[in-house]
C-alpha cells in the first residue's frame, strides 16, 4: 500500500484491523518523533544531549517530558495542535535567526574594528619607537661630537707641545755646537756674549710636562641601566570594563539614572565615559541602528543622571567605559532600558483662537482671536450659534448661582 504523508497513512488505516492500526500508528509516531527531534537538534532548538536514545522525549505523550517542549502538544489526530507546535517552532527559529543576524553583524563590525584599531596601534607603536630612535640618534650624535671635540683639543695641545719641543731641540743642538766652538775664544767680552746667548736658549723655558694625556676614560659610557629600562617597555595599563547594574538604574519622568561598578577596585581611574542612544529594538543592542551614540564625558562617579530627555522611543541603549590618565578601557556590555512614556502632541487647528500652540507649548494670546476672526467667518454657522447658545446658558447658570448665594447671605 503506497501512502504519501501522515494524513494519507491515517486514511489508509481506516481499512486496517485495530491491531494493524495501532502498529502503523506507532511506527508513524516513532518516525515522526525522530525526524522532528533530529531537525530541532540540528538547528539548536532542543538540547543535543537529548539525542541519546535512553533520554529521548516521547513527543506524543505530554506528560513524558520533564520540561515543556514545543513538541509535547503534537497529537496524531489533532491538526490544530500540530499547527500550534509548528508555529512555536517557527517563532523560536525566527527569533534565533534574528539573533544570529544581529550576532553576525556584531562579528563583522568587530572584525572591521579590529583591523582598523590594530592598524592604528601599530602606527602608534612605530611612531613611538621612531621617536625613541630619533632621541637615541640625537644623543649618539651629541656624545660623538663631544668625544671628537675632546680628541681635537688634546691633539692640538700635544701637537703644539711637540712642535715647540722639536724647535727647542733643534735650537739646542745648534747652541751646543756653537758653545763648544766658543770654548776656544780668548777674548773675555766675546766669551761673555756667547755664554749669555747659550743661557737664554728656548730649551730652558720649555716645560717637559704634557699639557694633555691620552686618557679618554672620562668619556666612556655604560647604558646597562637604560637597556634594562628599554627591555621593560610594555603597553599602557588600561582599566577593565565596568559592569552596568540594571537593577539600580532608574527610568522616570524623561530622565534616566545609570549605575555601574568596577569588577575590581582601581584607584588609577580618572573618569568615565557614558554613551547612550535611542532605539525601538528590544534586547541586545544592535551594531547598526538608526541613531548614533551620544556621549557624556568626564564623569567622576559610578552613576550619572540624564535629564531633559524626550522619551519618543521605546528603549534606550547604554554603555560605559573607564579611563585613566593614559588610555580608555573597553566598553561595558551594553544594556537596554525601556523608556515608557505617553506621547501626545497639541493640535493648534482645534484649539481656542486665543491660544498659541507650538508642539508641546501653549501660550495665551489676548490678541490672537481678533486676527483669526476673519478666517472663521462663514464656517459652520450652526456650530458657532451653538457655542454662543452654550455660553448664554452658562451665563444664566452663573447669575442664578450668584442670586442664590446672595439670598443665603
What average pLDDT does this structure show over 378-404? 58
Q: Is 83 part of a structural domain of the chain?
A: no
| pLDDT at position 23 | 61
Q: Give yes or no: residues 318 and 358 share one domain.
A: no
Count Cβ atoms below 10 Å from residue 37 Cβ, excluding itself: 19
| pLDDT at position 13 | 44
Q: Give yes or no: residues 322 and 258 share one domain.
A: yes
Q: Does residue 352 carry a pLDDT above 50? A: yes
Q: Is 57 part of a structural domain of the chain?
A: yes
Among 94-103, 202-211, 301-310, the range with the most confident prediction by mean pLDDT is 301-310
| pLDDT at position 46 | 53
Q: Give yes or no: residues 320 and 281 share one domain.
A: yes
Q: What angle do CA 277, 93, 74 make, to 5 degrees?
A: 140
* pLDDT tens, residue by residue, 164-184: 888 878 877 777 777 776 777
Q: Give yes or no: residues 190 and 276 share one domain.
A: no
Please provide residue 308's backbone torsions phi and psi, each rounded to the nearest 5 degrees: 70, 20
The count of structural domains within the chain is 4
Among 33-37, 48-52, 279-283, 355-359, the range with the most confident prediction by mean pLDDT is 279-283
What average pLDDT does this structure show over 323-344? 86
Q: Is 390 part of a structural domain of the chain?
A: no
Percent of the chain with pLDDT over 70: 66
| pLDDT at position 11 | 46
Domain final position from 231, 256, 273: 231
Q: What angle do CA 303, 309, 312 make, to 5 degrees?
A: 125
Q: Give yes or no: residues 279 and 210 share one domain.
A: no
Q: Is 383 part of a structural domain of the chain?
A: no
Q: Could you tell me the CATH number of the domain that includes residue 261?
A: 2.60.40.10
Distance from C-alpha of 245 to C-alpha of 302, rounded to nearest angstrom: 10
Q: Give yes or no: residues 195 and 259 share one domain.
A: no
Q: Give yes or no: residues 217 and 264 share one domain.
A: no
Q: Is 406 part of a structural domain of the chain?
A: no
Nearest to 106 by CA among 249, 243, 283: 283
> What DSSP character marks residue 334?
P
Q: Give yes or no: residues 192 and 258 share one domain.
A: no
Q: Give yes or no: residues 329 and 252 share one domain.
A: yes
Distance from C-alpha of 299 to C-alpha of 326, rounded to nearest angstrom: 16
Q: Is 95 part of a structural domain of the chain?
A: no
Three-class HEC string of 61-107: CHHHCCCCCCCCCCCCCCHHHHHHHHHHHHHHHHHHHHHHHHHHHHH
Domain containing residue 275? 243-338
Q: Does residue 339 carry a pLDDT above 70? A: yes
Domain final position from 320, 338, 356: 338
Domain final position from 284, 316, 338: 338
Q: Is 284 part of a structural domain of the chain?
A: yes
Q: Is 236 part of a structural domain of the chain?
A: no
Q: Give yes or no: residues 270 and 287 share one domain.
A: yes
Q: Give yes or no: residues 199 and 250 share one domain.
A: no
Count Cβ atoms below 10 Å from residue 162 Cβ, excluding itself: 11
Residue 358, CA distances (Å) to 342, 345, 355, 369 in order: 18, 9, 10, 16
Q: Give yes or no: residues 279 and 318 share one domain.
A: yes
Q: Does residue 122 carry a pLDDT above 70? A: yes
- Alpha carbon 132 to its chain centroid, in Å, reads 29
Of 17-26, 40-49, 62-71, 110-119, least confident by mean pLDDT is 62-71
Amino acid at each position: 500500500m503506497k501512502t504519501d504523508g501522515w494524513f494519507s497513512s491515517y486514511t489508509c488505516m481506516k481499512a486496517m484491523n485495530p491491531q494493524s492500526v495501532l502498529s502503523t500508528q506507532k511506527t508513524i509516531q516513532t518516525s515522526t518523533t525522530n525526524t522532528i527531534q533530529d531537525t530541532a537538534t540540528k538547528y539548536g532548538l532542543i538540547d543535543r544531549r537529548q539525542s541519546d536514545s535512553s533520554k529521548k522525549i516521547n513527543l506524543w505523550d505530554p506528560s513524558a517530558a520533564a520540561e515543556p517542549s514545543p513538541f509535547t502538544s503534537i497529537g496524531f489526530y489533532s491538526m490544530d495542535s500540530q499547527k500550534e507546535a509548528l508555529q512555536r517552532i517557527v517563532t523560536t527559529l525566527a527569533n534565533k535567526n534574528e539573533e544570529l543576524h544581529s550576532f553576525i553583524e556584531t562579528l563583522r563590525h568587530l572584525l572591521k574594528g579590529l583591523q582598523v584599531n590594530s592598524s592604528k596601534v601599530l602606527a602608534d607603536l612605530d611612531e613611538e619607537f621612531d621617536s625613541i630612535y630619533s632621541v637615541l640618534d640625537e644623543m649618539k650624535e651629541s656624545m660623538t661630537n663631544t668625544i671628537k671635540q675632546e680628541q681635537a683639543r688634546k691633539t692640538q695641545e700635544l701637537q703644539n707641545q711637540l712642535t715647540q719641543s722639536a724647535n727647542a731641540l733643534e735650537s739646542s743642538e745648534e747652541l751646543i755646537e756653537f758653545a763648544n766652538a766658543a770654548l776656544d775664544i780668548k777674548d773675555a767680552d766675546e766669551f761673555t756674549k756667547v755664554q749669555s746667548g747659550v743661557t737664554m736658549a728656548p730649551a730652558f723655558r720649555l716645560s717637559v710636562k704634557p699639557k694633555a694625556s691620552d686618557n679618554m676614560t672620562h668619556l666612556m659610557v655604560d647604558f646597562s641601566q637604560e637597556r634594562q629600562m628599554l627591555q621593560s617597555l610594555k603597553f599602557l595599563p588600561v582599566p577593565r570594563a565596568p559592569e552596568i547594574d540594571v537593577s539600580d538604574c532608574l527610568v522616570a519622568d524623561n530622565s534616566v539614572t545609570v549605575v555601574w561598578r568596577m569588577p575590581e577596585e582601581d584607584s588609577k581611574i580618572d573618569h568615565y565615559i557614558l554613551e547612550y542612544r535611542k532605539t525601538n529594538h528590544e534586547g541586545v543592542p544592535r551594531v547598526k541602528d538608526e541613531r548614533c551614540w551620544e556621549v557624556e564625558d568626564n564623569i567622576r562617579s559610578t552613576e550619572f543622571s540624564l535629564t531633559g530627555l524626550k522619551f519618543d522611543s521605546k528603549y534606550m541603549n547604554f554603555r560605559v567605559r573607564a579611563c585613566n590618565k593614559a588610555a580608555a578601557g573597553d566598553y561595558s556590555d551594553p544594556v537596554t532600558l525601556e523608556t515608557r512614556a505617553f506621547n501626545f502632541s497639541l493640535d493648534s487647528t482645534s484649539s481656542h483662537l486665543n491660544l498659541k500652540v507650538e508642539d508641546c507649548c501653549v501660550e495665551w494670546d489676548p490678541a490672537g482671536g481678533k486676527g483669526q476672526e476673519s478666517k472663521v467667518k462663514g464656517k459652520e454657522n450652526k456650530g458657532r450659534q451653538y457655542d454662543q447658545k452654550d455660553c448664554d446658558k452658562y451665563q444664566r447658570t452663573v447669575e442664578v448661582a450668584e442670586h442664590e448665594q446672595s439670598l443665603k447671605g
